[in-house]
Amino acid sequence: MSILRCDDVTMSYEGVNVFEHLSFKLEKGDYLCILGENGSGKSTLMKGLLGLIKPTGGKIVYSDDMSQNEIGYLPQQSAVQRDFPASVYEVVLSGTLNSRGLKPFFGKKEKALANKNLERLSITHLKKRCYRELSGGQQQRVLLARALCATKSLLLLDEPVTGLDPLVSAEFYELIKDLNKNDNITVIMVTHDVRESIAHATHILHLENKTCFFSTVKDYVKSSVSNQFLGT
């Protein structure tokens, strides 16, 4: 059974269709990169996948064993978010809020999960540091640990390497690849980095001028849609 399915989805912004008749499905463990120029609808689709806005046509369906509040989401950071005055541990622990339910305090289960993901991303030594004092790469690892506290199945990443230097970006891509391969986490990433997408993803969704192209990486490379980005 697919973990996520878009059936003939049309999304709009301020009454204008951003893209139309999008259909695709992802199985558990797939790695999808969403490509396209600014204004093509990438962010709009992400908001739809998160349930923040509703499609104007079609439907977005998740598997029976997960819901939209069980998605791990790593958004683009604003200057205000980068300056957030909280400890690393507090930021990571906040990822368990949806699973905490109505309990007024974080319990042993939530704290253990936060510590597990701090260790998973090799940032336990930063636990007591203030988030805003960290480098950009360290902050992204903290936010990824937070996202992992919210999900066991699906990560949504919105331009996760923006502003990072090439070495740190490469390390982050390898980290995502490891989570996808070894933890079998389905990944959906919005990015402008076509070559890294081809290197790591299993599928490509290309949004352009209200049209949608979805296929495997192998088919995407052979398609005319990729020509302007790959220079072939």
Q: For residue range 58-92, what is the model confidence (pLDDT) as tens digits?
A: 999 998 777 666 899 998 876 556 677 899 999 99
pLDDT value of residue 227: 72
pLDDT value of residue 105: 72
Q: Do 52 and 119 belong to one domain?
A: no
Q: Do 143 and 157 belong to one domain?
A: no
pLDDT value of residue 101: 59
pLDDT band at 159 (very low <50, low <70, confident <90, very high): very high
> 22-26, 59-63, 123-127, 194-198: which range is least confident on average?
194-198
The more confidently predicted of residues 85 and 227 is 85
Virtual torsion, Cα 92, 94, 100, 103, nearest 10 deg: 130
Measured over the CA atoms of residue 118, residue 144, residue 150 and residue 63, the dihedral's sign is negative
**Statement: residue 3 has pLDDT above 70:** yes
> Which of residues 102, 131, 150 is at a domain's end?
150
Q: Do 105 and 168 belong to one domain?
A: no
Please, which residues bridge with residue 186 across strands?
Answer: 154
Q: Do 36 and 107 belong to one domain?
A: no
Do 215 and 203 touch, CB atoms closer than 8 A? yes
pLDDT band at 38 (very low <50, low <70, confident <90, very high): confident
Q: Do 172 and 160 belong to one domain?
A: yes
Q: How far is residue 153's CA from residue 219's CA, in Å, rounded to a whole number? A: 26
SS (H, E, C) the chain: CCCEEEEEEEEEECCEEEEEEEEEEECCCCEEEEECCCCCCHHHHHHHHCCCCCCCEEEEEECCCCCHHHCEEECCCCHHHHCCCCEHHHHHHHHHHHHHCCCCCCCHHHHHHHHHHHHHCCCHHHCCCEHHHCCHHHHHHHHHHHHHCCCCCEEEEECCCCCCCHHHHHHHHHHHHHHHHHCCCEEEEECCCHHHHHHHCCEEEEEECEEEEEEEHHHHHHCHHHHHHHCC
Mean pLDDT of the chain, nearest integer: 89
The domain total for the chain is 2
Q: For the chain, what's the residue count?
A: 232
pLDDT band at 144 (very low <50, low <70, confident <90, very high): very high
pLDDT value of residue 65: 73
Q: What is the pLDDT of residues 129-142, one digit of tens each?
A: 999 999 999 999 99
**Statement: residue 187 has pLDDT above 70:** yes
Q: Do 28 and 123 belong to one domain?
A: no
Q: Do 91 and 139 belong to one domain?
A: yes
| CATH (domain of 55) | 3.40.50.300
pLDDT value of residue 15: 84
**Statement: residue 232 has pLDDT above 70:** no
pLDDT value of residue 122: 95
> 65-69, 198-202, 212-216: which range is least confident on average?
65-69
- The mean pLDDT of 194-218, rounded to a whole number, is 90
The range of the structural domain enclosing residue 60 comes to 1-71+151-232
Other C-beta atoms closer than 10 Å to the C-beta of 43 total 18
pLDDT value of residue 218: 93
Q: Do 25 and 139 belong to one domain?
A: no
| pTM score, whole prediction | 0.91
Virtual torsion, Cα 100, 103, 105, 109, nearest 10 deg: -40
- The mean pLDDT of 124-151, rounded to a whole number, is 95
Q: Do 83 and 146 belong to one domain?
A: yes
pLDDT band at 192 (very low <50, low <70, confident <90, very high): confident
Other C-beta atoms closer than 10 Å to the C-beta of 75 total 16
Do 145 and 175 touch, CB atoms closer than 8 A? no
